[in-house]
Amino acid sequence: MSKFDKTYTNGEVTVFWKPEMCMHSTKCFHSLPEVFNPTIRPWVQLDKSTTDKIVETVKNCPSGALSYKYNDEVKSEKVQPMENPSVRIEVTNNGPLMVTGSAVIINKDGTETIKEGKFALCRCGQSSRKPFCDGTHKTITFDS
């Protein structure tokens, strides 16, 4: 867990936000603005809706920046890779590569990052969080 990651809970569910993975699709706050509101702090307020609606919204996060665990399942923050990883990669129209599955990313300095679930990889080459997408493709009118 990076120093920028945030954790929010309502007692039933814990939501994790990893800003370095966020591609700013705006799906969370358009879907459930009473919970996900980037104009206030904290920007995630789980007490403003039901657990079911929160979980449904988090599941629709295209980058995997938002994830959740029901509190009776919250255990270690350390993610262990799957034994037989399966990865699905989708090339989006004028956007990032959407990756679903378990993957090990080897950085140019040789360090490894384990990613599980959903995340977005930059295709435009302009992300400040390479290799991950930060949404810059929308502001530079990336066309692919």
Per-residue pLDDT at 117: 83
**Tens of pLDDT along the chain (144 residues)?**
678 899 999 999 999 999 988 989 999 999 999 999 999 999 999 999 999 999 999 999 998 899 999 988 544 344 455 565 578 899 999 999 999 988 888 888 888 887 888 899 999 999 998 899 999 999 998 998
Distance CA(19)–CA(4), nearest Å, equals: 7
The distance from CA 25 to its chain's CA centroid, rounded to whole angstroms, is 10
CATH topology of domain 87-139: Ribosomal Protein L9; domain 1 (3.40.5)
Domain boundaries, the chain: 6-73, 87-139
Q: Enter the pTM of the model.
A: 0.60
6-73 — its CATH code? 3.30.70.20
Annotate 49-104 with three-state secondary structure: CCHHHHHHHHHCCCCCCEEEEEHHHCCCCCCCCCCCCCEEEEECCCCCEEEEEEEE
Token output for 24: 């700013």
Same fold, 6-73 and 87-139: no
